[in-house]
Amino acid sequence: MSLIPPGQDKERGGRWMKLFQPDLVFFEPRALDYPLGRKLYQKYSKSRIPVKMTTSHNRVTGLPGETELEKYRVAKRTLVVGIKKTLDFEPSKPSAEYAIPLATGCMAHCHYCYLQTTLGNRPYIRVYVNVDEIFERAARYIAERAPEITRFEAACTSDPVGVEHITGSLKRTIEWMGQQKYGRLRFVTKYAHVDSLLDAVHQGHTRIRFSINAPYVVQHFEPGTSPVHERIEAAKKIARANYPLGFIIAPIMFFDGWEQEYTQLLEKLRDQLGMIPDLTFELITHRFTQTAKKVIEKRYPKSKLEMDEEKRKKKWGRYGRVKYVYPNEQMEQLKQFFYSKINQYFPEAEISYLT
């Protein structure tokens, strides 16, 4: 049972982040073979939003814009409705065994996001309508590992809360996973639009995490997301709905006054939440690749994001990619700071990892 007092989930200044609405919608022809695809086609065909067809959600052409930057900004406002053909789920360590593919792409403009490079020239938002087929594949993964618990991450390639008002697929997944004895769902969001999830029959099988950060990071590098105070208000609702709750502080950065701002963030979290059972923290430090740096500098030329290779340590990632991470001494400094503060303010919480 949540210990947050009722009646304290009202807005505390500022306005709530508006729900995403696309400026342009594409459909794969086969998407219309599925109930969700037909529903969305009927919805957008009756709207003032232009609707077009595309042969594949992986190759959408004809986006308006004269420059690469203009086309990128248009793509971030474009919705593509398709089917997920490849149903071999990607691994999702360290947070889960597999990524469950409900959507790809995000409407936010976080400068540091790894989707800048993994999505390449396809930054538009894709939603998949063959949800039952995705569930069938997930059930096979669960059966292969039973009686071990199999965890699925729904936010590896998107922020599923950002499109939930369009598809409803996240709530369906939560309720489906609630019926799986050995299956668990996890996702993280920077959006506060969680009201439609509050009455889902989740059976405690879904952990909802909110990405939070210091004001400096949110202000400079997270355009198009819900303000942190809205995310915390949403977290309180989730806790009262008896979901397992978590927070991801990411990406953790060094900047002038970082210790004070992160301390105040954790203090605010404690004051707003009080005691929360089964609370987790995941800590992810800022890192980048040379490819990401080039892309970010093109798309956000005025960004203040620090990406100086000389100040970083090389770390070999998957597929031989080199990441630039903080040196060992700075990583140890961050570890000592965050472990100490979280243990101070949330002594019962679990720190899942720092990376």
305: nearest Cα among 242, 254, 238:
254
DSSP, res 5: P
Q: What is the sign, positive or negative, of the torsion defined by CA atoms of 139, 142, 146, 148?
A: negative
Three-class SS of residue 16? coil
CA atoms of 301 and 294, how far apart (whole Å): 10
Q: What is residue 17's predicted lDDT score, i.e. its pLDDT?
A: 63
Strands (E) across 88-219 are located at 91-92, 96-99, 103-104, 125-128, 150-153, 183-189, 206-212
Give the pTM: 0.91
Q: What is residue 118's predicted lDDT score, i.e. its pLDDT?
A: 78
81: nearest Cα among 61, 62, 103:
103
Q: What is residue 66's predicted lDDT score, i.e. its pLDDT?
A: 83
CA atoms of 117 and 275, how far apart (whole Å): 39
Amino acid letter, residue 55: T
Q: Which positions of the chain have pLDDT values less than 50? A: 1-16
Domains of the chain: 24-354 (3.80.30.30)
CA atoms of 283 and 47, how far apart (whole Å): 42
Q: What is residue 319's predicted lDDT score, i.e. its pLDDT?
A: 66
Q: What is residue 58's predicted lDDT score, i.e. its pLDDT?
A: 82
CB 22 within 8 A of CB 78: yes
How far, in Å, are 56, 172, 265 from residue 231 at the CA level?
Answer: 34, 22, 12
CB 127 within 8 A of CB 166: yes
Q: What is residue 18's predicted lDDT score, i.e. its pLDDT?
A: 83
